[in-house]
Amino acid sequence: MNTLKTILVPVDFSAGSRSALDQAARLAGLNSAVLHVLHVVDLAAVGMIADSRKMSFERQAAIATEGAREALVRWLAQAGAPDGCQSTIVVGVPLHEILEHVKTLKPDLVVAGITGSGESEAGAGSLAHRLARKVPAKVLLVRANHPNAFRKIVACIDFSETAREVAAQARRIAIQDGARVDFLHVWQEPWLSTPYAYLATVAAEFVAERRQHLRAVLQQFVGETAPDIESSEVLVNKTNYGNAIAAHAEKTGADLVSIGAKGQTNLRYVLLGSTAERLLSRLPCSLLVVKPAVE
C-alpha cells in the first residue's frame, strides 16, 4: 500500500485497537503518510457516569476527555507513531464520529481493530462490521495479535474490476512486507446448484476442462495485475465462498485476507457483499476490504 497519503485509525484502548494503532503507525512510516488518530469518548457512558456521580454532563465529559488525552499520548509514544501524527478526542457516538472524520479527512485507508473491548478469537466486532460496510475508503481490520508485518496474504479473486484492485493492493503489501500471496479463486460447479439430476451425469466430463480453463484465466489475471512477487494461484471448488476463503486462510496460516467489498454483481444497493459479510463473522486473521471505484 505504498500510495497511501492519509491514514485514519480510531482507537478505544483495547488490545485489538492497540494492534491497529501499531499497524497504522507502521504503514504511515513506510508510506510517509499522515496518521490521524481518533478516540471517541462514548456519549452514553459519560451520561451514565455523570448521573451516578450527581455531576453535570459537561464536567464529566471534560474529566473523561482529559483522561483519554493522557492515555492517548502514552499509546502514541509506545506505538512509535511518526512525527506529524495528529490526534483528536471527541465526545459522541463512536460510529457517527468516525464516519464524520472520514468525510472530512477523506483517508486512503481506515485501520481499526477487528474486535474492540469485547475480544473474541474469530469474527469481527459490531463496530468493525459497520466500518467495513459504511466507510467508502479501504478498511484494514487488524487482529489483536498481529501488529507486525504481514507474511502470508490471501487475495480473493473473482475477476471483477474490484478484484483487480484487490490484486494490486496484495502486490503492494507483498513488496512492502516481503509477503507471499495466494491468489484464491473459489468456484462452484453450476450443475450442483440446479434441481436437474441429469446434469450430474455429465458433470465429470466438464470438471477437468473447467478447472483447466479457470487456472489459465487466473494465471493471466495475476500476471497482469500482480507480477514479480512470490505467489501461487489457488482454485477451490466449494459452494460457500466465504467459508471456503476462511478455511483456506486458516489452513495456510494467513495473517491477512484481502477481498473486494462487492464482487461481480456490483449491485448499487448492496453495501457489502455476502462473501465479505461471511468472512467478517468467522475470519481468523486480519482483513483488508477494498472498495469499488466511486463513479
All three cell numbers of 7? 491514514
Sign of CA dihedral 274, 278, 281, 283: negative
User: CA-CA distance, 102 to 110, in Å (whole number)?
Assistant: 8
The DSSP result for 105-131, as a single string, is: H--SEEEEESS-SS--SSS--HHHHHH
Going by pLDDT thresholds of 50, 70 and 90, the confidence category of residue 20 is very high
User: Position of cell 489452513?
Assistant: 251
**Which pLDDT band holds residue 199 (cuts at 50, 70, 90)?**
low
- Please provide residue 26's backbone torsions phi and psi, each rounded to the nearest 5 degrees: -60, -45
Average pLDDT, the chain: 83
pLDDT of residue 279: 72
Predicted confidence (pLDDT) per residue in 232-250, tens digit: 999 998 877 888 888 999 9
